Amino acid sequence: MTDKVRTYDENTVLIFDTTLRDGEQSPGATLSSAEKLEIARQLSMLGVDIIEAGFPAASPDDLAAVQRISREVGTPDGPVICGLSRAVEKDILVCWEGVKDAAKPRIHTFLGTSDYHLNYITKTTRAEAIEIIRKAVTLAKSLCDDVEFSPMDAGRSDPAFLVEVCAVAVQCGATTLNIPDTVGYVTPEEWRERIANLIAETPGAGPGSGVIWSVHCHNDLGLATANTLAGVLGGARQVEVTINGIGERAGNTSLEEVVMALHTRPQFYGLNTNINSREIVKTSRMVSNYTGMYVQANKAIVGANAFAHEAGIHQDGMLKHASTFEIMTPETIGLSQSKLVLGKHSGRHALKVRLSELGYNVEGDALNQLFARFKELADAKKNVTDADLEALMADEFNKPEEIFSMDDIQVTCGTMGMPTATVKMHRAGSGEAFIHAAVGTGPVDASYKAIDAITNAPNVLVEYAVHSVTEGIDALGEVTVRIQHPETGRSFGGYGADSDIVVASVKAYLAAVNRMLALLGLDGVQAEGEAATVNMKSEAK
């Protein structure tokens, strides 16, 4: 290798990122030239060693993108800029046009070597394939000092033929030999053995030869990362990966998974990378946003749940010592902190700690009371947010004296029939239950009329406001109401929160009525007969 190409410690694994080439081949993931350039800049910030910027012969736009990346990102202290080409003279010449302005250019050429590819794609014999490879690598070497060769579908190629192919590529000047499992067929143990045998048996490409061995694995059987790491154990010192594991079919090996496996298990692998892992999350989100390929929540390293804990046992362990359930810190990949997701599996300890962080010191019976409400809410929605907790606190601990308490409510509404609400309540200090049904202009109006009939507390509804505390179909709703006593003119407010907006509305209204009854010393009594349906509220309801 010449001084144009960086030399590396044998204990360093080179990260060859092909997000802009193989990753972009994902269905629907086409990127514009400007987007490719921005991603390339971020990949340079991430510290990747080689950026495969594209397939210059594929289209004029791809060529232009590779040229721009070569000029603007391929600086002397930046990454190697690589272009891919078939083992065809025209492709190789166009590839060189794409990368020649980079400070450290690389031509990557390939040819299928499995019998599947030789018989059905190129329709050549093995001898003819050898000659194609010889000519292609020789041409590439005449243009560029740094040449990579890949025997495509190596995972299903004859091992003896692979040795012959790799030997010819090295003789003609290839400096990197990439062994791809193009269809995601191999298993870790056989792949490790395959790589180790190729290194040992290929003339001129063993340890100390200056030739770097590489692996490129696909994820068709979900083994891409495992196979890539097995290849590293077999002696490979370059890995071809993509951000978020995007790529054709089931995708490629994920950069973040390989990098963090090496980072987290140094005692096992004893190898380093040049990656600035704190840029991983930022890079992942950029690629996801530009390609429109969203990362699944349970994706290793960069998924939304990768550092999220909901189970009570896990949360309790995390609160005591993070290492109980995390093998790496979120800060390592660029996140600010782990996330304790409050949901139906969470325990009191996690709830108490989160409330404390929000400024609420809740202990004993009060905590038990709030925890019961929290569990009810968690059963109704997936995640309980800080805003939900604030609403629960206001609803639970800012209540007026309860003269009347709600037991049950049932509403019927829709385009057929009249909105009807049946309310069951009881009075403080009395075991007697009051049940009343009422018809209104809507479910809330009907509920309020039923409450009026039971409490016999005439008032005018002067304000009713409802809004969602959090986003989503399962959001917690907040309702605030203001009622006015018709004789004194005094106003009383009420607040309610629930994932059911009608229930929240009833809680808010009953809170205001209780406050009015308590502060004015009124003696609410259930009206009898037809009078139970009479109230003095305005049509605002």
Q: Are 492 and 482 in contact (CB under 8 A)?
A: yes
Model confidence at 444: pLDDT above 90: yes
528, with CB counted inside 10 A (0-12, 13-18, 19+), is exposed
Q: Residue for token digits 């990260």? A: 15
What was the pLDDT predicted at 143? 98
Q: What is the mean pLDDT of residues 446-456?
A: 92
Residue % of the chain over a pLDDT of 70:
79
What was the pLDDT predicted at 26? 75
Give the distance from CA 19 to its chain's centroid.
17
Instruction: Quickly count helices (H) and strands (E) in the chain.
Output: 17, 16
Q: Which two tokens stand for residue 129?
A: 């394939």
Q: Are 498 and 477 in contact (CB under 8 A)?
A: yes
Q: Which residue has the higher pLDDT, 31 or 442?
A: 442
Model confidence at 305: pLDDT above 80: no
Residues 6+ apart with CB under 8 A from 133: 87, 111, 149, 165, 168, 169, 172
What was the pLDDT predicted at 482? 79
3-state percent helix, strand, coil for the chain, nearest multiple of 5: 45, 20, 35
- The 10s digit of each residue's pLDDT in 315-359 is 455 446 556 645 566 677 765 444 445 666 677 777 777 677 555
Rounded to whole angstroms, the maximal C-alpha distance in the chain is: 104
Q: Sorting pLDDT into bands at 50, 70 and 90, what band is 520? A: confident
